[in-house]
Amino acid sequence: MKERINDTGMKLLMVLLITLALGVSPGIAADWPSVLKQGKTKYAGFEKDVKDMAVIQNMTMITPEQKIASESKLFRKGKKFRMETKTQIPGMAGGNGGMETIVIFDGKDMWMISPFMGKQKLPEEKEKEHKAGENWWGTASEKAKIVGSEKVGGRECYIVEIQEQKESHFNKIWLDKKTLLVTKAESKEAKGKAMVWVYSDFKKIKGDWEMPYKTEIYEGSKLLSTTVVKSLKVNKGLSDDLFNPDKVKTKGSGMQDMMKMMMKERTGE
């Protein structure tokens, strides 16, 4: 369960990155090569306007047994990023502030740091999984194609089918025809299950650049999680130390403390 929370949080971070760019434009041609070219052009402008970004968001995961709440702090500066996730597990938190996990991409390698496992460099396969979907205009090639159109959240959207899902994470995305914002996405997970991501409550963060403040993830019609952005700040001069894994100090329960807590719960002491 803890790994699923971490993976979902990382995917949400990537979703923030792919849905950030793309302010209003007067109109976009309906052929995919033109859409792809315009996306790349717009993203270059985003990099110039938004040097760094800090986001605080709350996520609620829904399981058959319970709801699990977590808070994430997301930091981005250029290609580097950091995600701090604090998760409250009902019946296990014990007033200790929950479990904290930190994932950092320092521009070269990706690291996961937690009280349970210490500092670990993620293997290349896991790193690719976390970085999948970083931006649709960078991972979707000209092999993708527009297969139709549909209205999502009141926005007229292109439905784009992506061939290289291993690189982009999503096999299908819905792009606003006017802004090129991703309003919906679909990915095929293990055992062929389809996961659907729906983005809403778009707000401007700087100039005409927008991003969704609400993200819902579904498996079929079943709601799995809801994430809401509580605050977002740009161009605050984030320190490079944030993206240095050697300077991370973790908080929360370690494995030893967690085992003691579980034993107390079982014995009733």
The CATH number of whichever domain residue 197 belongs to comes to 2.50.20.10
Closest CA to 2 of 68, 81, 66, 58: 68
The band of 262, judged by pLDDT with boundaries at 50, 70 and 90, is very low
Q: Give domain status of residue 256, yes or no.
A: no
Residue 23 has pLDDT above 50, yes or no: no
Q: Token digits for 2? A: 């803890």
Alpha-carbon gap, residue 203 to 200, rounded angstroms: 9
**Dihedral angle, C-alpha 232, 233, 237, 238, nearest 10 °:** -10
Better pLDDT: 15 or 30: 30
As a whole number, mean pLDDT of residues 130-134 equals 54
Range of the domain at 83: 2-247
Residue 217 has pLDDT above 90, yes or no: yes
Q: Give domain status of residue 194, yes or no.
A: yes
What digits encode the pLDDT tens for the residues 76-112? 998 899 999 998 866 654 445 568 899 999 999 999 9
Q: Give domain status of residue 263, yes or no.
A: no
Share of the chain above pLDDT 70, in %: 71
Alpha-carbon gap, residue 85 to 99, rounded angstroms: 8
Average pLDDT, rounded, for the chain:
79
How confident is the model at residue 74, as a pLDDT?
94
How confident is the model at residue 128, as a pLDDT?
56
pTM for this structure? 0.77
Contact 6, 130 (CB under 8 A): no
As a whole number, mean pLDDT of residues 134-162 equals 87
As a whole number, mean pLDDT of residues 34-47 equals 85
Q: Give domain status of residue 12, yes or no.
A: yes
| DSSP code per residue over 138-176 | HH--TT-EEEEEEEETTEEEEEEE-S-HHHHS-SEEEEE
Q: Considering its fold, how many domains does the chain have in total?
A: 1
What digits encode the pLDDT tens for the residues 45-57? 888 899 999 999 9
Better pLDDT: 122 or 233: 233
Q: Give domain status of residue 257, yes or no.
A: no
Residue 61 has pLDDT above 90, yes or no: yes
How confident is the model at residue 259, as a pLDDT?
44
Q: Give domain status of residue 261, yes or no.
A: no
How confident is the model at residue 251, as a pLDDT?
58
How confident is the model at residue 20, as a pLDDT?
46
Alpha-carbon gap, residue 16 to 12, rounded angstroms: 6
Q: Give domain status of residue 253, yes or no.
A: no
The band of 143, judged by pLDDT with boundaries at 50, 70 and 90, is confident
Contact 7, 190 (CB under 8 A): no
Q: Give domain status of residue 262, yes or no.
A: no
